[in-house]
Chain A
């Protein structure tokens, strides 16, 4: 699996809208990172298969939500799209231009149209520079406005995101977390981009502040017809902001669908488990629902599992899943917008917490302890008092 040319070919997302409607198109994107060889004398290079054959489209004025757990490759994918990383193979088309192989210099004018907002409002702002100059950076880089004109533009954009324009000369440390994230939004918005990639923009914020930023992003989208790729691990946030959602697992898209469709008819067992694991702020629902508790952790992307990458943890895994990689296609009579990468998609009303994998233990993560549902006993002698120890 370490050979780059052997990347499996995932089916392309069906192209329905006219091409003019699609702002960003990613085809079969692969990104490997080399890792240090474990043996000094081995000539074999290992690779982290961070993104493996991802295809997606983002339409103008829409929001594509990208969800998945730590290490599933969602941030790497975003950085590849921004061309912050060189990609291993695949094709990225942005606004009609093939940007896959553009040099840094040729990329620069296009960067005006694609901007990014980062997770950490503390780490992504230089503490020694004034806010006005941070937000003015895109103007400087793009050579758009300078002097008094730039200051005016920066203050306009500060006002737009709900910052006081008089705070132009302050340092980031003088702002709260929520305000800092507004600075990040202002910087991304300054040059009026077409696409903004939001990489966990609200994860570091308290809920009441988080709602302010989400509303701000929604208002700006309406006003300027912005297109977002919204990456988050908080599924309720993604559900709120996205028109369509793609679920990633170990570098691949396991399911993609319009938001409502995905929540009401999850087809991939991973999506189903992920959605059922989200804590809902509603005691009634929390008591009633059957949680699907997955066993184990996400496997290493250096040596991803064969066949379907989810099979070691999947409650529905069958021998086919170990041998053959499923295609990302419409299943169970779903529309062409709803694609699932699974041999045995979840039917409406099916309870996969009752399912039992039909593959051997050597191919899956085996449950132990409490999660196996067996007897729960504290290890011998732990329950005993310290002074009864002598008798033992």
Chain B
């Protein structure tokens, strides 16, 4: 049994303009010690889905199940959910300044997190543990910095303090929602390194939500690509980059500078993402898809295995046989492989081996 199993999660919000269908049938599972990457653009539903699972979304219509160690988080009472949050599942958000309370000392906030779940811990004991945790995540002079306020920390230090807080009770699952987006690259590298090491050491499962395919390539074991509230493609990390099936996955990669290196022009996806109130008929991606066929405009494709591989699913009407798919790729965008060999060589050079 997987640590977390989400089945057919649907989330919608009633707004004055109509019903926003933020998540439309999301299923995934995460195993202990593994990292699931969820990638997608703004409004694809990637954040809403995990926030819903953790009971942090209000006023939404929710259906489906989210089994954490066999217990459904979506029907759990708020007291039980509160115990799970923090103790069993840690969370890190994008903006570390707004997720730390500006009025309280960083160390106090970490200590409070511990005391909230274990009343027998004394205040001085909690403080001592906060110092240890700050040291663990690489905050210099933790015994002094523990009494700092969040504004006295730099962006990278705040994010590491958030990781310290999320890891304080050694959770089984860590949900990281764009944890490095607000950070500079060198600091991002530090934070990712801290997360990887913690995972290796404690077997923590990680859900990494990001729009950055570079971060996904670095850290994820399995990847879900979301668009307009639904999963377009789900596959192992290598398959997503080297044998992707769905045109949206392909489009995302093609529009990156540094993928298909040193080209004169990028290949953007034309148009912009659809309104979640008024979704296109059929496949939600069809208005922007270079491979669009008549069927795409009327029928919604289901997630189905690619080339008979049950770990690689794609929701697309293109042939699910990879050879036939690559032949279409050649016709439409000019080359048969998802990433031409020279592109990979270029990307490696971009890796900066001096």
Chain A residues near B (Cβ < 8 Å) = 69-70, 176-179, 206-212, 214-215, 218, 233, 235-237, 239-241, 263-266, 272-286, 288-291, 293-298, 346-352, 365-372, 376, 378-383, 386, 389-390
Contacts and interface: CB of A to CB of B under 8 A. Distances in A.
Nearest to B339: A282
B30 interface: no
A372 B138 contact: yes
A371 B136 CA distance: 9
A370 B194 contact: yes
B257 A289 contact: no
B137 A370 contact: yes
A208 B157 CA distance: 31
B257 A368 contact: no
A380 B132 contact: yes
Contacts of A283: 217-218, 237-238, 241-242
Interface in B101-148: 117-118, 120-121, 125, 128-129, 132-133, 135-140, 142
A383 B170 contact: yes
Contacts of A350: 354
Contacts, number: 232
A178 B189 CA distance: 28
Given A208-B269, A380-B132, A371 B138 contact: yes
A285 B138 contact: no
5 nearest A-B residue pairs (beta carbon):
A279-B214, A379-B132, A275-B352, A211-B268, A240-B257
A280 B257 contact: no
A265 B353 CA distance: 8
B217 A289 contact: no
A372 B139 CA distance: 11
B156 interface: yes
Given A240-B258, A288-B348, A370-B136, A279 B217 contact: yes
Given A70-B155, A280-B217, A295-B138, 17 more contacts: A178-B272, A206-B273, A207-B211, A209-B268, A211-B255, A212-B270, A215-B266, A215-B268, A272-B352, A280-B214, A280-B351, A282-B241, A289-B353, A293-B193, A382-B132, A386-B120, A390-B120
Nearest to B134: A369
Contacts of B217: 279-283, 285-286
A281 B259 contact: yes
A66 to B, nearest CB: 15
B350 A210 contact: no
B78 interface: no
B322 interface: no
Contacts of B253: 281
Contacts of B188: 277, 279
Nearest to A380: B132
Nearest to A262: B352
Interface string B165-204: 0011110000000000000111111100110011001100
19 contacts: A69-B186, A69-B187, A70-B155, A70-B184, A177-B42, A209-B272, A211-B267, A236-B256, A272-B352, A275-B351, A280-B348, A285-B351, A291-B189, A291-B193, A368-B139, A369-B139, A376-B198, A378-B170, A382-B129
Nearest to A218: B265
B354 A266 contact: yes
Interface string B317-354: 00000000000000000000001000010011111111
B219 to A, nearest CB: 8
A172 B204 CA distance: 45
B48 interface: no
A377 to B, nearest CB: 8
A282 B132 contact: no
A251 to B, nearest CB: 16
Given A178-B272, A288-B348, A370-B136, A278 B214 contact: yes
B258 A280 contact: yes
B266 A240 contact: yes
Contacts of B168: 382
Given A206-B211, A291-B189, A369-B138, A279 B218 contact: yes
B51 interface: no
Nearest to B193: A293
A294 B120 CA distance: 39
Contacts of A346: 354
Contact of B214 (A264, A276, A281): A281
A207 B256 contact: yes
B73 interface: no
B31 interface: no
B265 A281 contact: no
Contacts of A348: 354
Contacts of A235: 185
Q: Which of A70, A280, A298, A381 has the most CB of B within 10 A?
A: A280
B10 to A, nearest CB: 24
B117 to A, nearest CB: 7
A272 B352 CA distance: 7
A272 B167 CA distance: 31
A367 B142 CA distance: 12
Contacts of A381: 125, 129
Contacts of A378: 136, 167, 170, 201-202
B252 A207 contact: yes
Contacts of B351: 275-276, 278, 280, 285-286, 288-289
A106 to B, nearest CB: 38
Contact of B136 (A207, A272, A298, A369): A369
B213 interface: yes
Contacts of A274: 185-186, 352
B157 to A, nearest CB: 7
Given A206-B41, A372-B138, A381-B129, A294 B190 contact: yes
